[in-house]
Structure 1
Amino acid sequence: MATKSIKIDTIAKRAVLAAAMLICLLGIVYFMRWCAGNSIALNTIFAEAADTAVSLAPDDPQTHYTIAVLSERVFSDENV
């Protein structure tokens, strides 16, 4: 099978390619943060780590559930 190449000889084509790459990279970063926050929330026993999970994935319900459960167990002046 022959290798095919795509000519990117105009500035418009290069701009479209750069924009598509930027969108893909932003999507990758977004999903990596979401997965990291969810993974931290599922595997932590510390409230501070759950705070980090919420900051990484603020729209993930699992992170908020984890921080609520762990905050309920912590006996501090704020929770008394």
Structure 2
Amino acid sequence: MGYNTTVVVMNDALDVIEADPQFGARLAAAIRYAGAFPQLEHVNVEAHSSNCLHSNAAIVVETHHSSITVTVEVGQNYGKVVARDRVPAR
């Protein structure tokens, strides 16, 4: 029940993510946006600190209902949906 989201986090941005008090809010907004526009390939999530900006600290790849299995390839700082398997109706 509910929804699941695939997110790719750039490990090089972890220090900036950790220092950014608004990262969680931006991540939540990006997940909601991706859910509202499932045709998008990905949604960038920025992280900010006092001396640095990571314009792609994380990428929201896709959002799906938890009753569906999604296969995702991850590489080159992006993710791509390979397959969506719908669970048969009961």
* Interval of TM-score (by shorter of Structure 1 and Structure 2): 0.3 to 0.5
More strand by share: 2
Using the size of structure 2 for normalisation, the TM-score is 0.29
More helix by share: 1
